[in-house]
Each structure stands twice: as C-alpha cells, then as structure tokens.
Amino acid sequence: MTDAADLTAAELLEAYRAGTLSPVEAAEAVLARIDRDDRELNAFCLLDPETTLEMARASAGRWRRGETLGTLDGVPVSIKDVLLTRGWPTLRGSTTIDPAGPWTEDAPSVARLREQGAVFVGKTTTPEFAWKAVTDGPLTGVTRNPWDPSRTTGGSSGGAAAAVTAGMAPLALGTDGGGSVRIPAAFTGVFTIKPTYGRIPHYPASPFGTLAHTGPMTNTVADAELLLDAVCGADGRDWSSLPPPAAPFTDGGPHDLTGLRVAFSPDLGFARVDPEVAASVAAAAEAFTELGAKVEQADPGFADPVADFEVLWFAGAAKVVEHLTAEQRARLDPGLREICEQGARYSAVEYLTATARRMELGRIMGAFHDRYDLLLTPTMPIAAFEAGPEVPPGSPSPRWTSWTPFTYPFNMTQQPAASLPCGLTADGLPVGLQVVGARHADDLVMAACRAYEQARPWKRFSRR
C-alpha cells in the first residue's frame, strides 16, 4: 500500500474527493516521515504537530460537509523560514531575531494558502537571511540531500527541497534571489519555477530588492500549477505585484510543442560544465526536438554578469544587517559578515552602474526572445557537492556565485525560469534542466515543462 506521504498534491486531492483518504491521515503520514528522516536531513527548523493536525481536522470536516475552502484544502505544505507565518516565528536562519515576535501577519503567499485551507506542516531551513546557495547556518546547522546525506541540498531554499524530495510535504514555498529555488531543485531532483517578478506577491519587501522572487517547489509540474494558481495575483502590500494570470495554470495548454522556437545554450557562452551534467542536459534538449520544437544551439550573447550581480546582492546583504549591534554582527555566519562588509563599501554610483548593466542585460534578453520563445540551459554546471562548505572543492573563489552561473542572470532580468530533473550522474545524483521564458511568459514555460515531463517521466527519490 502506498504511503500517503509519497502521494503528490494532485493524488491527495483525488483521494479526498473519493473518500479513500482524509487530510488527517495525510498530515499524520508526513509528520511520521519527518519523525523518521528529518534528524538526518534537517529540512525543518520549526514543527508544530498540534497546529498541523488541528488544520487537518478542520479540513477533514469541510470535506465531509462538501464545504472546501479552495483547491488545496487539506494538502500539506511547508513554508521557507523567510516568509512571515502568523503564529509561528520567522527567524530567517539567524540567531539575531527574537523568537518572541509578535508574529501576527502572513506573507501574501502564506495568506493565500491559509485561505485555501492548506495544512501547514512547518518552517523549512535556510542559510542566514537566505544569503547563499547552500543551506547551513549558525541557527539551524547543515541541511542534507536525501539522495546522499553527505551532499548539500543547495540553497537557499534547501530545506524546502529536501522536504519535498523526502515526502515530508508535497508542496513547498521557497524564495529565489539568485537561484534559491532552482539550485536546490536541481540538486535534489524536484521541479520548481521562479516566476516572472511580481507574479507571486512578496511582503515584506526583500532587502535584496527586485532580485527576490517567491516560487513553488514540488515533485511534479501539475502540483506546481496547483500551487501557482493558489498564490498568484496582486496584493496591496506589494507595489510591484502583478494581476492574476489570464487563465489558471491548471487549465493547461497543448502538450504539442510543434513550431516552438527553442534555443539551447550548453554554457551561456562562458560557463564551465561538468561533462556528465552536459550530457544529460543535451539529451533533454533533444526531447524538445522530438516534441516538435525547432531547437537551435544559440547563446544569448552576454558576458557573465557576476560582478554586477554581486554589487546588487552584497549591498542588499549590508542592508539586511544594518540595524544589528556589534555583538549581533559577531554572531553572523562568517561568510555573510564578509559580504556585508564588502556591500557596505559600494557607492551609490557603483550600485546604479550595476543597475544600468542589469537593465542592459534585460534588453539583450528581450531581443533574444524576439527570436526564440524559450531558452534551455543546465540549471547547475555541477551535481551536489559536500554538505557544509559554501563552494565545491577546488573552487577558485570563496563565494557561491562562482558555481551558479546559470541562475542569477535571470533574477537580474526578472524572467520566469524553471528547473526540471533530467537525469542522474554516475554517482546517482540529480541533474537539472533550466527552461527560461520571456518576462510574463510563465504559462509557456509551464506548458513546455509539462510536455517534457510527460515525454520523459522522472523516477522520484525513494529511500534506499
């Protein structure tokens, strides 16, 4: 008999409708999975089983009465610990935030899920203030990859990725300012999309500015569609939030990609890619040809924008900690403290110069998408490395930006970018394919991902 913790959100909802499973049983199953596996993986930094079961019992009653609140009623979901959650502390992976709160407000995406009747399982781990692309920090320690617990999940939504992968909740909310949902999705073999900036409202505003997006993390494209439909749409607290999409993502589109103009860039013209990763991604690009798309190898035509991204990111980090005392700063993750000191030294002119180059990058990608509907790249140039360090062995740089060349450019341009699992290395570690669309073309990116997933079904993680 299938463990309810291994069911997708869509499968859970089907079982609820059929009366073969209740939200309480689903909640008990994921809590049991957490109890079994999370001591090793460290995906959650906050659990509140009493509240989780209370929400599940309320949902079960609504299903019995035929009075469900929304399309996610009764589905377990985890929330990254940078998103405000009423009644629970949001510590952002830091010892410098007072758990006492008060915690009286939900972030927009969290509020939408509560309105839908989703069941909150807990808060997932993040590096301190979500600053880096691996998940460890002074408050919560190291989060580990279910495929191989000696390896990193990536970050900064590493806890969310581990939770989805290991069956601790079928849905997760993460955030992405430079790759923070796509990096861990690639490393753990789950699906994610960083939607167009503003598609999912964000509040409070990120100190990292308009680089930061909220995104779903799931085992299937269909589950991501359910989650997107629940959390997209304007919120008055976010001045840059977009109106709801013209049609629900769950309405789907044609799975036939005939005539779609697709560019495949193995390295963006500047990145070094592990041969095993390159082979899996090239095979995935071939699948788009088989689905009817016109696939050409083409680079977008920009140089690595890492220096400009670091000005924006490090300055944002300096803003995050500007209110801290000297004693609190001494307790920060040492790497975070270093980039904050660097970010505080940038002048306004240097920041605005990086912003201008960011705008030029957006212009280049706008012109690129006049020629191509989608861009395919590796999500990551490498597979998951040892858990704990910020960079893999032999890295020429101490910073995470040195090994994430495919993700941060598309935070700078605010484009939708998804990551799909597309293979395994010889060591049995997942490889991710990144699918990038023009700004506001979230529906096209999701349709393409749906088509690929159907053509190349992914064998999900199961505990060995």
Q: Is 94 a catalytic residue?
A: no
Least Cα distance to 281 among 301, 296, 305, 264 occurs for 264
Given 156, 206, 280, 419, the catalytic residue = 156
Tokens encoding 418: 């998804």
CA distance 383 to 362: 28
- Crossing angle for the helix pair 442-455 and 275-290, nearest 10 degrees? 100
- DSSP for 53-87? HHHHHHHHHHHHHT---STTTT-EEEEETTS-BTT
Phi then psi for residue 215, to 5 deg, are: -150, 155
Radius of gyration of the chain (CA): 21
* Residue where the block lists tokens 């976010």: 238
Q: Are 199 and 234 in contact (CB under 8 A)?
A: no
CA distance 172 to 80: 8
Q: Is 156 a catalytic residue?
A: yes
Given 22, 59, 78, 80, the catalytic residue = 80
Q: What is the DSSP-derived secondary structure letter of residue 52?
A: H
* H-only helix segments in 66-139: 108-116
Please list, in sequence order, all residues whose beta carbon lies within 8 angstroms of the beta carbon of residue 299, skipping any fewer than 6 positions away. 265, 267, 268, 269
Q: Are 308 and 357 in contact (CB under 8 A)?
A: yes
Given 109, 157, 180, 280, the catalytic residue = 180
Q: Is 80 a catalytic residue?
A: yes
Residue 94 CB-density burial (10 A; 0-12 exposed, 13-18 middle, 19+ buried)? buried
Residue 235 CB-density burial (10 A; 0-12 exposed, 13-18 middle, 19+ buried)? middle
Catalytic (active-site) positions: 80, 156, 180
